[in-house]
Amino acid sequence: LQGIFVLGLPYALLHSGYSGLFLIVLAAALCCYTGKILIACLYEENEDGQLIRVRDTYEDVANACCKKLSPKLGGIVVNVTQVMELIMTCILYLVVSGNLLSHSFPYVPVTEKTWSVIAFVTLLPCVFIKTLKIVSKLSQLCSFVHFVIIFVVMTYCLTQIHQWSWAKFSLSLEFEDFLVSIGVIIFSYTSQIFLPTLEGNMKNPEEFRCMLNWTHCFACVLKTTFALTAFLTWGEETKEVITDNLPSFLQILVNLCLLTKALLSYPLPFFAATEIVCACISRSNYSNYSSPLFALCVRCSFLLLTLLMAIFIPHFALLMGLTGSVTGAAMTFLLPSLFHLKLKWKKLSFFEKSADISVFILGFLCSLAGTVFSIKGLLKVFG
């Protein structure tokens, strides 16, 4: 919930003004709600009225909802969406790595795309990652670097408090830019694909709802504080990646920390995406597809795909907005509310049904509009 993509939130405020602050809070509340109803879909009541966990994954929930149409249709849709989101996340890490390197060493005659290729070379060992043990250690380092970055940026912003002015917030909105901002904000909260596994591995699963409330509350406070202080510091000069606004003596230090964080963050979504694909193929009747050599080929293919996409779409905010609007909205709003209505319809109150339907409609409209205008923004950039 506090990943590298919080760096795009001040830029989102630039295009959404006061409504952006409201959206950050609203997105936290809605994501927390859909996380709870998604986990509720994992459980069914037994004859004694006790809740029993009968499903383990997002895929299991989808298959249960679509079993009358096709036993595996729902799982296929969810897996495709999950892989898209994870791969887009990997692409964003490469894009932001190239951006950070180009701004850290502006006097080196190398393009941003070339820097992305250089960053990509350091990620080649990812094809040999076979378990989460290595990924977990990298993630621990990643978390430490993240807090260092946030502390440095926030400290600098607070030293500029004498320049802050609420007049920097715009009351008028550019509708297209506003919709792209919605995608950026949504994407910064997406975590639903990890929740079933997380809840299943908790020592006390009954505390899941409480945990979700507190984590989303803290995430909302931290995101709002960070985005607000950064935007009040730079106003209309706020850039897509907020660290680009820092003075040169801090920029190189923070950018190198961010680069480290981005590279350390890459293995988790990459590993998750390749594991989903390999698991789906190995469940087929073709035993040759379960060989270690095939898994290595899948990982190499995905690694190369992320590089090619990062080179051809090197626009951080627009790409993040598109990802949030397409896969983020689907996995976070559309599918949880739809699955909850399908599996629990007879047991839901009128208020719960209304809430689910409202979330679905809101998610659909945001996804549709954000997708259209993110693509339009990308097309405009490419002329």
d(CA 87, CA 273): 7
Region of poorest pLDDT, from 24-33, 110-119, 167-176, 343-352: 167-176
Instruction: Indicate the SS3 state at residue 43.
Output: strand
Burial class (CB in 10 A: 0-12, 13-18, 19+), 359: buried
Q: What are phi and psi of 129, to 5 degrees?
A: -75, 120
Is residue 192 within 8 Å of residue 36, measured between CB atoms?
no
Pairing of strands 51-53, 43-45: antiparallel
Taking residue 213's Cβ as centre, other Cβ atoms within 10 Å add up to: 14
Arithmetic mean of pLDDT over the chain: 82
User: Taking the domains of the chain in order of start, what are their residue ranges?
Assistant: 4-382
180 vs 79, 83, 124, CA distance in Å?
A: 25, 22, 32
The one-letter code for the residue type at 315 is H
d(CA 362, CA 201): 31
Percentage of residues in the chain with pLDDT exceeding 90? 16
Checking if the pLDDT of 164 tops 70, the result is yes
pLDDT at residue 1 in the model: 67
What is the b/e burial string over 74-106, where b = at least 16 CB atoms within 10 angstroms of the residue's CB? bbebbbebbbbbbbbbbbbbbbbbbbbbbbbee
- Return the CATH architecture of domain 4-382: Up-down Bundle (1.20)
Instruction: Indicate the SS3 state at residue 53.
Output: strand
The candidate with the shortest Cα–Cα distance to 149, out of 50, 241, 212, is 241
Is residue 227 within 8 Å of residue 24, measured between CB atoms?
yes
Task: Give pTM, 2 decimals.
Answer: 0.79
Name the β-bridge partners of 43.
53
Q: What are phi and psi of 51, to 5 degrees?
A: -80, 125
pLDDT at residue 383 in the model: 62
Please give the residue that has the higher pLDDT: either 356 or 245.
Answer: 356
Six-digit token string for 4: 């590298």
pLDDT at residue 314 in the model: 56
d(CA 283, CA 350): 40
Name the β-bridge partners of 51.
45
Tell me the pLDDT band of 382, cut-offs 50, 70 and 90: low
Instruction: Indicate the SS3 state at residue 269.
Output: helix
Checking if the pLDDT of 2 tops 70, the result is no
Reported as a single tens digit per residue, the pLDDT across 190-204 is 788 778 878 887 889
Average of per-residue pLDDT across 317-340: 75
The one-letter code for the residue type at 180 is V
d(CA 150, CA 7): 9
Checking if the pLDDT of 119 tops 60, the result is yes
Reported as a single tens digit per residue, the pLDDT across 88-112 is 788 888 888 888 788 778 888 888 8
Q: Highest-confidence range of 34-48, 70-84, 181-195, 255-269, by mean pLDDT?
A: 34-48
d(CA 182, CA 24): 9
